[in-house]
């Protein structure tokens, strides 16, 4: 029953979207920050 509510209602689908979005951000932000730190380190060493 819980799975039915999760995938068949508006608020359930929005919850799934938010969960997927937060997980994607948790992967993307460390990659982005590491790339920016590496770029700044290269600029600072010149």
Cα 9 to Cα 5, 15, 23: the distances in Å are 6, 10, 21
Report, as ranges of residue numbers, the positions in the chain whose pLDDT lies below 50.
none
Cα 23 to Cα 15, 31, 35, 42: the distances in Å are 12, 13, 19, 30
Q: What pLDDT is stored for residue 45 in this prediction? A: 78
Q: Which residues, other chains included, contact 26 with Cβ-Cβ below 8 Å and sequence gap of 6+?
A: none
Supply the pTM of this predicted model.
0.74
Q: What pLDDT is stored for residue 46 in this prediction? A: 66
Q: What pLDDT is stored for residue 44 in this prediction? A: 81
Q: What pLDDT is stored for residue 17 in this prediction? A: 97
């Amino acid at each position: 029953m819980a799975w039915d509510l999760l995938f068949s209602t508006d608020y359930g689908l929005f919850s799934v979207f938010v969960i997927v979005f937060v997980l994607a951000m948790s992967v993307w932000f460390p990659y982005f920050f590491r790339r920016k730190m590496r770029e700044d380190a290269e600029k600072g060493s010149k």
